[in-house]
A = this chain, B = another copy of it.
Amino acid sequence: MVKNIKDIKKIKLEGTNLSNVYKQVAINENDGWNDYVMRIFTLQQGGFTPEHSHPWPHINYVIEGKGTLYLDGVHYTVEDGFVAYIPPNSIHQFKNTEDREFKFICIVPKGYDK
């Protein structure tokens, strides 16, 4: 399977603890990846994901833009070319801090694409 993420439908996430977050499902079990799901998140201007924790890990790669990643008490400034491993049960949050899109890959174990 080969595809351009520009051709994947963007879903706007709804919630009281997030803002301006869009998700695309890039690779999942329908493509053959049986145990993880690759999603692409886009935070538009002012966008942020929830400050939360959960029992599964995720793996991130920042594709474009610049923002902050809060992880277990530390605010990291991250931009394209940064990777992160978010351990299970750690508190974390992504925020877009610039006037352009902030886009990153987020890989989670199958069943946790929420």
Chain A contacts with B in 12-26, Cβ cutoff 8 A: 26
Binding site for B on A (CB under 8 A): 1-6, 26-27, 31-33, 35-36, 38, 57, 59, 61, 63, 69, 71, 76, 78, 81-85, 87, 105, 107
Closest to A109 in B: B35
Give which listed residue, B33, B76, B84, contacts A57 with CB less than 8 A: B33
Contact A85 B32 (CB under 8 A): yes
Chain copies in the assembled complex: 2
Complex Cα distance A1/B71, Å? 9
Contact B3 A38 (CB under 8 A): no
Complex Cα distance A52/B1, Å? 17
Known: A2-B78, A71-B2, A78-B2. A83 touches B26 (CB 8 A): yes
